[in-house]
């Protein structure tokens, strides 16, 4: 299957997907299709899909509404939380506006309290996420997934069957496999495309509501990139960077720009928008669908987990498979779990993997772009 369009056009289409989906969301609502909004990679998307609902990510990535949020929330709070709450309260985010229910999760203290305030003007369902990955935590999380299913059945007066859930699991697994096929192209050295173009597809695909259509589109893109690579179209050899840490997107894409405008190439993202969300599939052979979903989602290696061996396992694997030269960690100001865990990540990268590591702390403003460029340019020069 060959894409007619040039690669730059395709990448820009994915980059614009979030904006284009605003109109698509309105059409879904006109057709009476329920919309479930969520904020986190731990959200068990398949349960909502099994009901026939459209799902959409709500984490906001701009500082536009932070002043509105700071009327209710403290200024020294994570910008992701303030931005999310600000867009929700001001109704400037069409996705939030059209969501019939917003699903939250008890990842960090800031989010937990934000959901309390948000529930005053929106239907919010909060899932109790354990902060460990023990057998007891797995049982708890499985119970939360069942509780979520029962909530949707009651709220929308529907029945969600296990067959419906299995179909949704299969659909999402196919999407993950296609996206893995795309980001695994970056194992090639030199890299076939920029990290920013890779990110446009990974991030943009989360705003495509027809999940079943994604694999064919991504697979076609993969084939085109492979064909052009075989013809000699590739980047020049550059220092290969892994980005880890807080979610990247919107304003924080300045980190990717800082790497790639100063002579490096981002070959892989460990963050929620990258490998973390698509690395593992749900086991389709497991007879208990709730067990399968609970296991897959609870095993995500986020800094809210303690201990957090799964993040190190994924990080180590990506470093080896993508022939990484250096690791850049991006932490958002006042994101305590990632800020504290940065010490352990630095130690792992320096001592276990023998690689250079830099941690850059930032927010959603553009005020620190000069400083970021200076620091990351010096880091790349060292490589």
Task: Give the up-direction half-sphere exposure of residue 169: CA atoms within 13 A in the CB hemisphere.
Answer: 23
Q: What is the pLDDT of residues 43-93, one digit of tens each?
A: 999 999 999 999 999 978 899 999 999 999 999 999 999 999 999 999 999
What CATH architecture is 34-158?
3-Layer(aba) Sandwich (3.40)
Query: Which pLDDT score, from 0 to 100, does residue 6 have?
Result: 86
Q: What is the pLDDT of residues 110-140, one digit of tens each?
A: 999 999 999 999 999 999 999 999 999 999 9
User: Taking the domains of the chain in order of start, what are their residue ranges?
Assistant: 34-158
Contact in structure between 109 and 131 (CB atoms under 8 Å): no
Q: At which residue do the structure tokens 């930032």 appear?
A: 362
Comparing 5 with 230, the larger pLDDT belongs to 230
Strand order of the sheet with strand 265-269? 265-269, 240-245, 326-332, 357-362
35 membership: H or E segment, kind and range = strand 35-38
Query: Which pLDDT score, from 0 to 100, does residue 59 have?
Result: 73
Output DSSP code: residue 102. E
Query: Which pLDDT score, from 0 to 100, does residue 23 have?
Result: 86
If you average pLDDT over residues 102-107, what whole number do you get? Answer: 97
Q: How far is CA 215 from CA 3, 170, 206, 362, in A?
A: 13, 12, 12, 34
Please report which confidence band the pLDDT of residue 4 belongs to, taking 50, 70 and 90 as the band edges: very low
Answer whether residue 2 shows pLDDT above 70: no
Cβ-based burial of 347 (10 A; exposed 0-12, middle 13-18, buried ≥19) = exposed
Q: What is the pLDDT of residues 237-296, one digit of tens each?
A: 999 999 999 999 999 999 999 999 999 999 999 999 899 999 999 999 999 999 999 999
Q: If you average pLDDT over every residue of the chain, what do you get?
A: 96
Return the structure tokens found at 347: 């130690």
**Calpha distance 186→321 (Å, rounded):** 9
Answer whether residue 1 shows pLDDT above 60: no
């Amino acid at each position: 299957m060959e894409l007619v369009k040039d690669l730059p056009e395709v990448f820009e289409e994915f980059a614009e997907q979030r904006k284009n989906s605003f109109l698509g969301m309105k059409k879904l609502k006109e057709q009476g299709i329920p919309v479930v909004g969520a904020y986190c990679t731990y959200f068990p998307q398949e349960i909502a899909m099994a009901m026939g609902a459209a799902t959409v990510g709500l984490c906001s990535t701009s500082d536009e509404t932070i002043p509105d949020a700071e009327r209710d929330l403290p200024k020294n709070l994570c910008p992701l939380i303030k931005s999310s709450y600000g867009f929700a309260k001001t109704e400037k985010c069409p996705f939030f506006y059209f969501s019939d229910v917003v699903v939250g999760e008890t990842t960090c203290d800031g989010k937990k309290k934000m959901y309390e305030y948000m529930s005053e003007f929106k239907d919010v369902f909060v899932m109790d996420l354990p902060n460990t990955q023990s057998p007891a935590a797995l049982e708890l999380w499985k119970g939360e997934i069942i509780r979520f299913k029962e909530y949707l059945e009651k709220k929308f007066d529907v029945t969600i069957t296990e067959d419906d859930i299995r179909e949704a699991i299969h659909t999402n697994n196919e999407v993950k496999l296609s996206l893995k096929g795309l980001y695994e192209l970056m194992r090639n050295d030199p890299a076939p495309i920029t990290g920013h173009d890779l990110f446009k597809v990974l991030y943009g695909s989360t705003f495509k509501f027809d999940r079943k259509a994604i694999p064919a589109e991504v697979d076609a893109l993969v084939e085109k990139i492979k064909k052009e690579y075989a013809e000699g179209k590739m980047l020049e050899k550059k220092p290969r960077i892994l980005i880890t840490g807080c979610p990247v997107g919107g304003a924080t894409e300045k980190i990717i720009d800082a790497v790639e405008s100063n002579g490096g190439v981002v070959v892989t993202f460990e963050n929620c928008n990258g490998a973390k969300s698509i690395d593992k599939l749900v086991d389709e052979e497991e007879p208990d669908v709730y067990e399968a979903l609970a296991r897959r989602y609870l095993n995500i290696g986020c800094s809210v987990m303690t201990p957090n061996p799964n993040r190190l396992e994924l990080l180590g694997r990506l470093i080896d498979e993508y022939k990484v030269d250096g690791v850049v960690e991006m932490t958002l100001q006042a994101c305590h779990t990632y800020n504290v865990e940065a010490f352990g990540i630095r130690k792992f990268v320096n001592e276990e993997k023998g690689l250079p590591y830099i941690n850059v702390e930032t927010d959603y403003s553009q005020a620190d772009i000069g400083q970021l460029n200076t620091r990351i340019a010096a880091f790349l020069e060292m490589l």
